[in-house]
């Protein structure tokens, strides 16, 4: 029986996978060309890490080799990751030339300067038109990328100028090529511009909801064990089809934490998610968190954990470029021409939120004075959330000077808004843990909007955090909170606004409970002041 695998390229003989045949066919069409006799395209294949770029081009490679119509072409795939620390572009060119020669049984060609690299692709050297795939191209140092791209660009342009000849008759027989990497390969780090006809670049998207479901249905057919539809829905909603993480959760659910019951249930998923969030190492997540902690990108991410304001997605921004390359952020398209930054999936967003919260507030001090009465908070009917937040407010005001001394700040020295969210989460975590409860962050939009879900004595409480901009946005936030409470099937939800100071009259006005007639929900707004 097959298994789920999240380590390295998928083996289609032994692992569950998504064929993604449409994308494979698209890659083949680009490489062979609409009219093969006239040449193929020089393309880039790009996506954040762990999205299946290498695997997909491997499938295209095998499809080209199997098809008798393309017997007149040589097709090669060369991995360049082992050259990522090599600063010498001539040496890199020599390694590529040697691998081409060995795989095609050609005479050795000595590369002593970059201009010698052109010789490898000459018509009197190659025996057939060559389709070349260079994997991990973006792993090379920028100088090497720029140098090699200049050679490929010149070959591409030379072939285009010989349109009166067939592909096999042109001066260079580099019929087509694919550079596999992330977005920076398209020339964003190169002031000389994009390398080729980038309009034919191939972007690899995440798996769709249907594709994720089909993998798990495949498992059901082979194993005889069913998977609750709600489990598959949660896998997609939490991971957004990220291939590596989707397969990792599949591995955990069907092997490591499989209780061999007739059905994998939502409770099984929740156990896996909790363990994956706190205990289990995953190379993809470890690398992602490591990249997220690098400055100045860390401050960019912390600012991204705001509540409402969207950040425009622009590849020219160094932090956006770097974080996208490493799978820490993704792009959100709204309409035809609006692009914004978002986190790639709720699971990654939670992992980053937890990490930043613990890094910044590893020392939280005393939660409340030793002899504080808590019966107005821990009531016979459960938690009184507003009173709980009043206790937290006292904690922040009392400890503000030292508590936020080393916390990240904007250039105007004001604290990032997200810092208060991290602090509240950590305070609630410690408070509830001692009382047998727990709190989880939720991010329903993939952007900065944050909700905290509290569990205490088998009851669920929703707390939504928002920016306070003006009265209009305040009233919109009330309605939004009501809609979210209805999704959670809650009759009451608390809406928190952090403010520096507020007078009693204003507090009374803006803390008036809001009854939403359409949703049948009560929203209880609370202003949490941070300065005495």
What is the CATH classification number for the domain harbouring 398?
A: 3.40.1350
In a domain, 229, yes or no: yes
| Mean pLDDT value across residues 256-262 | 90
In a domain, 522, yes or no: yes
- pLDDT classification of 241: cutoffs 50, 70, 90: very high
| Mean pLDDT value across residues 467-482 | 88
| Mean pLDDT value across residues 256-274 | 92
CATH number at 40 reads 3.40.50.300
Tokens of 175: 């019929």
Q: Do 177 and 256 fall into the same domain?
A: no
DSSP secondary-structure letter at 103? H
- pLDDT the model gives residue 122: 97
Q: Do 185 and 237 fall into the same domain?
A: no
Sequence-separated (6 or more) residues with CB below 8 Å from residue 184 = 138, 321, 325
- CA-to-CA distance for 347 and 240, rounded, in angstroms? 9
Instruction: Judge whether 151 and 113 are in contact, CB under 8 Å.
Output: no
- pLDDT classification of 93: cutoffs 50, 70, 90: very high
* Overall size of the chain counted in residues: 532
Least confident of 41-55, 381-395, 439-453: 439-453
φ/ψ of residue 383, rounded to 5: -85, 135
Q: How many CB atoms sit inside 10 A of residue 8's CB? A: 10
DSSP secondary-structure letter at 454? E
Q: HEC profile for 243-278? A: HHHHHHHHHHHHHHCCCCCCEECHHHHHHHHHHHHH
- pLDDT the model gives residue 431: 94
Residue, of 371 and 326, whose pLDDT is higher: 371
- pLDDT classification of 406: cutoffs 50, 70, 90: confident
Paired with 263 in beta bridges are 226
Domain of residue 422, residue span: 360-529
Q: Do 199 and 67 fall into the same domain?
A: yes
Q: How remote is the C-alpha of 81 from its chain's centroid?
A: 21
Instruction: Judge whether 424 and 452 are in contact, CB under 8 Å.
Output: yes
- pLDDT the model gives residue 445: 65
Least confident of 45-54, 111-120, 224-233, 517-526: 45-54
Q: Do 396 and 506 fall into the same domain?
A: yes
Residue, of 246 and 365, whose pLDDT is higher: 246
In a domain, 342, yes or no: no
- pLDDT the model gives residue 202: 82
- pLDDT the model gives residue 83: 94
φ/ψ of residue 195, rounded to 5: -70, -45
- Mark which of 203, 237, 271 sits at the end of a domain: 203
Q: Is 439 helix (H, G, I), strand (E, B) or coil?
A: strand
In a domain, 291, yes or no: no
- pLDDT the model gives residue 151: 93
- pLDDT the model gives residue 409: 85
Q: Do 222 and 131 fall into the same domain?
A: no
- pLDDT the model gives residue 306: 74
170: pLDDT strictly greater than 90: yes
467: pLDDT strictly greater than 80: no
- Mark which of 172, 203, 234 sits at the end of a domain: 203
Q: Do 169 and 270 fall into the same domain?
A: no
Residue ranges of alpha helices (H) inside 404-496 are 417-434, 471-487
- CA-to-CA distance for 94 and 54, rounded, in angstroms? 23
Which CA distances in Å does 413 have to 184, 359, 453, 458, 482? Answer: 32, 19, 31, 42, 34
- pLDDT classification of 248: cutoffs 50, 70, 90: very high
Question: Percent of the chain beyond pLDDT 90?
Answer: 58
In a domain, 225, yes or no: yes
Q: Do 51 and 196 fall into the same domain?
A: yes
In a domain, 315, yes or no: no
Pairing of strands 174-181, 42-46: parallel
532: pLDDT strictly greater than 70: no
308: pLDDT strictly greater than 70: no
Q: Do 409 and 395 fall into the same domain?
A: yes
Q: Do 261 and 183 fall into the same domain?
A: no
Q: Is 64 helix (H, G, I), strand (E, B) or coil?
A: helix
| Mean pLDDT value across residues 457-469 | 88
**Of 406, 405, 441, 420, which Cα lies nearest the Cα of 499?**
420
Q: Do 368 and 457 fall into the same domain?
A: yes
Question: Percent of the chain beyond pLDDT 70?
Answer: 95
In a domain, 317, yes or no: no
In a domain, 62, yes or no: yes
145: pLDDT strictly greater than 80: yes
Q: Do 54 and 171 fall into the same domain?
A: yes
Tens digit of pLDDT for each residue in 436-447? 999 988 886 666
**Mean confidence (pLDDT) of the chain:** 89
- pLDDT the model gives residue 100: 97
Number of domains in the chain: 3
- Mark which of 156, 173, 203 sits at the end of a domain: 203
496: pLDDT strictly greater than 70: yes
91: pLDDT strictly greater than 50: yes
- CA-to-CA distance for 111 and 93, rounded, in angstroms? 7
- pLDDT classification of 189: cutoffs 50, 70, 90: very low
Q: Do 251 and 102 fall into the same domain?
A: no
């Amino acid at each position: 029986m097959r298994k789920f695998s999240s380590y390295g390229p998928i083996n289609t003989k032994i692992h569950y996978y998504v064929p993604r045949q449409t994308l494979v066919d698209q890659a083949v069409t680009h490489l062979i060309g609409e009219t093969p006799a006239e040449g193929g395209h020089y393309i880039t294949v790009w996506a954040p890490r762990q999205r299946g770029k290498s695997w997909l081009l491997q499938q295209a490679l095998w499809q080209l080799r199997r098809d008798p119509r393309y017997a007149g072409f040589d097709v090669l795939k060369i991995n360049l990751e082992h050259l990522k620390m090599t600063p010498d572009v001539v040496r890199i060119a020599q390694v590529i030339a040697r691998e081409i020669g060995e795989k095609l049984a050609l005479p050795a060609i000595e590369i002593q300067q970059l201009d010698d690299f052109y010789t490898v692709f000459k018509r009197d050297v190659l025996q057939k038109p060559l389709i070349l795939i260079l994997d991990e191209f973006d792993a090379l140092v920028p100088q090497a990328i720029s140098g090699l791209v200049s050679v490929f660009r010149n070959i591409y342009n030379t072939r285009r100028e010989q349109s009166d000849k067939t592909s096999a008759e042109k001066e260079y027989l580099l019929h087509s090529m694919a550079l596999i990497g992330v977005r920076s390969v398209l020339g964003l780090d190169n002031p000389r511009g994009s390398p080729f006809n980038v309009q034919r670049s191939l972007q690899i998207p995440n798996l769709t909801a249907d594709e994720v479901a089909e993998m798990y249905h495949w498992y059901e057919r082979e194993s005889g064990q069913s998977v609750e539809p709600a489990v598959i829905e949660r896998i997609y909603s939490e991971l957004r089809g990220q291939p590596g993480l989707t397969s990792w959760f599949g591995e955990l659910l069907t092997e490591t934490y499989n209780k061999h019951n007739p059905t994998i249930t939502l409770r099984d998923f929740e156990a896996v998610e909790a363990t994956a969030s706190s205990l289990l190492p995953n190379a993809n997540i470890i690398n992602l968190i490591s990249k997220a902690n690098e400055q100045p990108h860390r401050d960019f991410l912390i600012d991204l954990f705001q509540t409402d304001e969207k950040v425009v997605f622009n590849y020219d921004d160094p932090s956006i470029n770097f974080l996208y390359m490493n799978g820490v952020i993704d792009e959100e398209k709204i309409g035809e021409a609006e692009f914004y930054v978002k986190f790639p999936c709720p699971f990654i967003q939670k992992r980053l939120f937890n990490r930043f919260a613990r890094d910044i507030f590893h020392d939280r001090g005393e939660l409340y004075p030793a002899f504080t009465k808590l019966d107005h908070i821990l009531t016979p009917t459960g938690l009184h959330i507003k009173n709980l937040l009043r206790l937290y407010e006292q904690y922040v005001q009392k400890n503000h000077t030292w508590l936020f001394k080393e916390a990240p700040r904007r250039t105007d020295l004001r604290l990032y808004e997200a810092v208060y969210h991290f602090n509240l989460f950590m305070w609630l975590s410690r408070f509830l843990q001692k009382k047998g409860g727990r709190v989880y962050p939720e991010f329903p939009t993939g952007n900065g909007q944050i909700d905290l879900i509290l569990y205490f004595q088998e009851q669920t409480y929703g707390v939504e955090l928002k920016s306070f901009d003006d009265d209009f946005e305040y009233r919109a936030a009330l309605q939004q909170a009501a809609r979210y409470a209805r999704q959670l099937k809650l009759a009451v939800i608390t809406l928190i606004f952090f403010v520096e100071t507020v007078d009693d009259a204003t507090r009374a006005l803006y803390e008036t409970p809001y009854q939403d007639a359409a949703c049948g929900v009560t929203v209880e707004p609370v202003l949490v002041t941070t300065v005495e």
